[in-house]
């Protein structure tokens, strides 16, 4: 049985950080996928939520008709909607 911490010898991937120093550097970087950090993803979600709220407002005011933006609502949408409704 092979050791869990060892890398695959067939595909020769990096296997990830092995030392405590390497693990701590990865934790500080907080990258989720590639060069994208959680903060960048959160900011994009907030901007997407703002766009969706503006789109909904424009539809209600009759300024926009036709197809709406496709896809699921951003995670920050419900939080932003509560803030707008409370105001």
Whether 13 is in a domain gets the answer no
Number of domains in the chain: 1
| pLDDT confidence band for 69 (50 / 70 / 90) | confident
pLDDT at 52 over 80: yes
**Domain housing 28:** 20-86
User: What is the pLDDT at residue 63?
Assistant: 92
Q: Does the predicted model carry a pTM greater than 0.75?
A: no
Q: Is the pLDDT of residue 7 over 60?
A: no
For residue 75, CA distances in Å to 8, 37, 54, 69 come to 36, 16, 16, 15
Round the average pLDDT of the chain to a whole number and report it. Answer: 77
Confidence (pLDDT) at 12? 64
Q: What is the mean pLDDT of residues 40-63?
A: 88
């Amino acid at each position: 049985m092979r050791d869990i911490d060892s890398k695959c010898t067939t595909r020769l991937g990096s296997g990830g950080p092995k030392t405590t120093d390497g693990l701590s550097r990865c934790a500080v970087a907080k990258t989720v996928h590639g060069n994208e950090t959680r903060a960048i993803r959160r900011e994009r979600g907030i901007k997407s939520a703002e766009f969706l709220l503006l789109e909904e407002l424009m539809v209600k005011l009759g300024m926009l008709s036709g197809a709406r933006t496709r896809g699921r609502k951003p995670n920050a949408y419900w939080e932003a909607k509560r803030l707008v409704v409370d105001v």
